Structure 1
């Protein structure tokens, strides 16, 4: 009986020690091709700087809504940016003044006005499993 109680105690401890899951539900995908490129940032210092994301994820587009479950993100504060790489060239294509030509989205569904949103605008606290809907937008 003592061994069973120890086993149950260890089982409960390991379940609590697991990282929470972040589920991203991405909507408003207009063309069914390419991939969604996701950057997760953990500081304002490097937010939206190319190659500076804390974590990167890719989803191949197969329908007009996609879902990704992120299981390797520790608890903390984050901001997410993403774009639909329709032509699979591994970059967010922009026009001559720097406005994205491919659909994009941010955590908190922030809609940029005259410039890219800040880390503070897009920041969210991730302490427990949660789902977040992000709608892709075009300019």
Structure 2
């Protein structure tokens, strides 16, 4: 009887914890540096799934763009449920909301990702850039790269 009651209490706590987690919303502050100059704007997009990461606009759950006045640039995304997210950022020099590329498909503007994974021949996978939002205020840094 004691074991059953203890198990029931434990399961009840797990149910309470997972329902509390499901209702949790926090903020994610993204600090971006590594700019070549202050021309144009910087944009950051948040993804919560691997599908579409990092460049499908239809899969972005939140996006912000802002003029570059001070470096590093800080963007704060509010009201995010606890979970796993990946962030893609770009230095949008000509303010066309696209990561421009040359004729070979190489980016001509700066770009970066959460967790700053090494980028070789293609963009990182969601799992290589994914961070966990588990508290009320999470901060990450992204260092832009230029090719």
- Normalising by structure 2, we get a TM-score of 0.77
Within-5 A mapping of 1:50-61: 50-51=56-57, 52-61=59-68
Residue 35 in 1 paired to residue 35 in 2?
no
TM-align CA RMSD: 1.5
For structure 1, the residue ranges without an aligned partner over 5 or more in a row are 1-16
Offset, 1:49: 3.6
- Corresponding residue pairs, total: 123
Which of 81, 94, 99 pairs up with 1:74? 81
Residue 94 in 1 paired to residue 101 in 2?
yes
* Stretches of 4+ aligned residues off by more than 6 angstroms: none
**SS of 2:32 mapped into structure 1:** strand
Which protein is bigger by CA-based radius of gyration?
2
Offset, 1:60: 1.4
Deviations 1:79-120 (A, max 9, x none): 110100011122111011211100001000112111111001
Counterpart residue number, 1:21: 27
For structure 2, the residue ranges without an aligned partner over 5 or more in a row are 1-22
* Structure 2 CA distance for aligned equivalents of residues 72 and 33 of structure 1: 30
